[in-house]
């Protein structure tokens, strides 16, 4: 094989590897910072439309804080609650309100909220899924009623797939 043909074959192989790597890099099971901000802002917009002052936390697939906002005049005590709702939703990959039903006295995981440095097992934490349905993070909202918190969190979580 000539040197020219070997170089051409090598360049083709490298190009193929680069294309393959780029395609793989675009498929992720983690929340990007753009997605985290999109979820945060969609939730904030919903809260503003509902005239509810809340704290909103977004965590990545590893339950690490990725984005956060404390709306002006929202409760200081809700900061920790919003973060813990987001983490709880990611730790168990479910709506924190649904998890709460299992943690009631006599429930199959009663008292689990005392694990993981404290969990929040009432509504307002929602897993965030990508377009393929994989969980890539979670959002937690606190400051309104549990119904308002949940609705705001859903608005943020579903903005990713829109």
More confident residue, 17 or 73: 73
pLDDT average, residue stretch 132-139: 96
pLDDT digits (tens, 9 = 90+) for 82-109: 999 999 999 999 999 999 999 999 888 9
- pLDDT above 70 for 8: no
Per-residue pLDDT at 92: 95
Q: Is 60 helix (H, G, I), strand (E, B) or coil?
A: strand
Burial label, 86 (beta-carbon count in 10 A; 0-12, 13-18, 19+)? buried
- Phi first, then psi: what are they for 112, rounded to 5°? -65, -20
pLDDT of residue 130: 94
Q: How far apart are CA 56 and CA 43, in angstroms?
A: 7
Judged against a pLDDT cut of 60, whether residue 45 lies above it is answered with yes
pLDDT tens-place string over residues 56-67: 999 999 999 999
Per-residue confidence (pLDDT) for residue 7, from 0 to 100: 64
Q: 10-19, 107-116, 125-134 — which is least confidently predicted?
A: 10-19
Q: Which residues contact 105 (CB under 8 A, 6 or more apart)?
A: none
Cα radius of gyration rounded to whole Å, the chain: 21
Evaluate if residue 11 carries a pLDDT over 90.
Answer: no
Work out the percent of the chain whose per-residue pLDDT is above 70.
83
> Measured at the alpha carbon of residue 86, what is the angle toward residues 85 and 89, in degrees to the nearest 5?
85
Three-class DSSP category at 5 = helix
* pLDDT surpasses 60 at 52: yes
Total-model pTM: 0.82
- Distances in Å between the Cα of 139 and the Cα atoms of 2, 48, 73, 150 are 58, 17, 20, 10
Pair 72, 53: CB distance under 8 Å: yes
Fold annotation for 31-161: Beta-Lactamase (3.30.450)
DSSP state of 47: H
């Amino acid at each position: 094989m000539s040197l020219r043909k070997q170089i051409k074959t090598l360049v083709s192989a490298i190009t193929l590897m680069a294309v393959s790597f780029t395609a793989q890099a675009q498929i992720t099971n983690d929340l990007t910072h753009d997605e985290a901000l999109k979820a945060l802002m969609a939730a904030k917009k919903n809260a503003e439309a509902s005239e509810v002052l809340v704290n909103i936390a977004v965590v990545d697939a590893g339950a690490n804080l990725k984005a956060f906002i404390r709306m002006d005049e929202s409760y200081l005590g809700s900061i920790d609650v919003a973060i813990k709702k987001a983490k709880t939703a990611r730790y168990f990959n479910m709506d924190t309100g649904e998890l709460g039903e299992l943690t009631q006295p006599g429930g199959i995981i009663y008292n689990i909220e005392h694990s993981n440095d404290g969990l929040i097992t009432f509504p307002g934490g929602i897993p965030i899924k990508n377009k393929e349905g994989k969980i890539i993070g979670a959002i937690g909202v606190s400051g309104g009623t549990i119904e308002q918190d949940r609705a705001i969190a859903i608005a943020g979580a579903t903005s990713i797939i829109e």
